[in-house]
Amino acid sequence: MKFLTKLLMLSFVLCQNPSVGQKIRIITLDGNTLKGDVNLVNDVEIVISTDLGDIKVGREKIKSLEIISINDKPTRKPLVQNEVSVELDPSLNQEARWRTIYSAMLLGNGLYGWAVPYVFGVSDEETVIASQLLMFGGGFYTSYAYTQNMDLPYGRWQFQNSGAALGALSIIPLAVTFGESWQDIDPNGKVALTYMMLMTPYGVIKADELYNKWELTNGQASLISQASGWGFLNSLGVLALVYGEEHPGSIISVKLNTLAVYGAALGAPFISKNHFTQRSYTESDASFILSAFGLGYLNAVGIASILRSDKIRMNTILFMGFTNGFGYLADKMITDIDLDRGSARIIALGSGAAFLIRGGIGIALDEEFNDTSILLNLAALNAGWYFTFKRVSKKDDLLTNIGKSKNSISFSLAPSITGSFDRPSPGFSFMMNFY
């Protein structure tokens, strides 16, 4: 049955023969949506002109193709140009629809189910439980109707989650701004809960509006939506650098700092959009970059444990440098690469496998845990991450300068382990190539 479905989808794609100059919409097997004008079309690939430049798409990677008419209404060609036609309804990508529905059900049970009775002064336990069950189940039907005709790839679901979180958490800067007077306005927290229940769906709707307006690919939406967390954590880091060992001494400082942190989380997606929309990102590209932030954090933890510093500013610089540095490095490593679906998970597994092997060797040699052990652990993690990526991406000299030409020099830098078997030492290998 699966083979027949794939065969029908391939036949459907091959039957779509747009002409040069026509405007089309393509959804790839990775869930990315591409929209642009046809520059070249043949039996092997289609080249379309988009805001990101000319993009080549192999026919075997196309899930669906729509020809958009002049009045911008999509027209779908039949599978076979005769009396019999099979329609696969490929216009919608709803791979993450179940996630949106599930999230709505959890929200109904976790917030609305108990908050609605509380706001209306109902404290009877049975009534509260009944409300939670009704909201839990009702969340399914509400979100089912909302998403019925919605293009819902994974990146859009992440966009919706970020919008909901920013909407609900906006109560924090609001309450802090009012300060002690907020206790007089809302002594029982009912105003705050009502505000959160209203702002959560509002955040989802506004996030959807931005997603449609920016016309993001799956990977772009994933990265931009996660930028809120990046802005939040980096703003806390900046405040730690500003205050150091001291703490804000005035109420006005606390208010301004709270507004600054929320403003960073709210503004980060708009700032990052200018960078991430410059080129195409797949879902695996986004996962690879986000996991690199985590790897940078692990490196920072390891180095911090070696330095044993109790200086807030120094530790902050260390953590911000490693996490942002690894994220930046990962972004540069995939500049000319589109990782296939699942590649980011394979890279993460490769990094973990190298760490496990390193741990096994240490136990077998009855190694005493010390600073050298920590460095070896980090070297194993980083080497596994880098070399697995190198193999998965099938591209050599990943950490090299860009732009090889005649009479030029390129270099590569990679972690390595040197020394004897019983006394391994972490290091780096450096190679230069002359052209």
And the tokens for 39?
Answer: 């520059």
Strand stretches in 303-369, DSSP E: none
Domain formed by 2-75, architecture: Roll (2.30)
- Work out the number of other CB atoms within 10 angstroms of the CB of residue 233: 20
Tell the residue number behind the tokens 């959009």, with chain if given: 273
- Per residue in 194-206, pLDDT (tens digit) is 999 999 999 999 9
Residues 379-412 as b or e (16 or more Cβ within 10 Å = b): bbbbbbbbbbbbebbeeeebebeeeeeeeeebee
Checking if the pLDDT of 414 tops 80, the result is: no
CB-CB contact of 392 with 417 (8 Å)? no
3-state class percentages of the chain: helix first, strand second, coil last, to nearest 5: 60, 15, 25
Percentage of the chain surpassing pLDDT 90? 47
- Please indicate whether residue 237 or residue 180 has the higher confidence score (pLDDT): 237
- CB-based contacts of 39-46 (< 8 A; 24+ apart in sequence): 41/17, 43/14, 46/18
At residue 288, what is the residue type? F
Confidence band (pLDDT; 50, 70, 90) for 425? Answer: low
- Per residue in 84-128, pLDDT (tens digit) is 333 434 557 788 889 999 999 999 888 999 999 999 999 899 999
Confidence band (pLDDT; 50, 70, 90) for 417? Answer: low
- Per residue in 17-43, pLDDT (tens digit) is 677 777 887 877 777 777 888 877 776
Q: How open is the CA angle 355-360-362, to the nearest 5 degrees?
A: 95
> Nearest to residue 332, comparing CAs of 430, 401, 271, 428?
401
> Nearest to residue 162, comparing CAs of 230, 61, 247?
230
Distance CA 258, CA 329 (A): 30
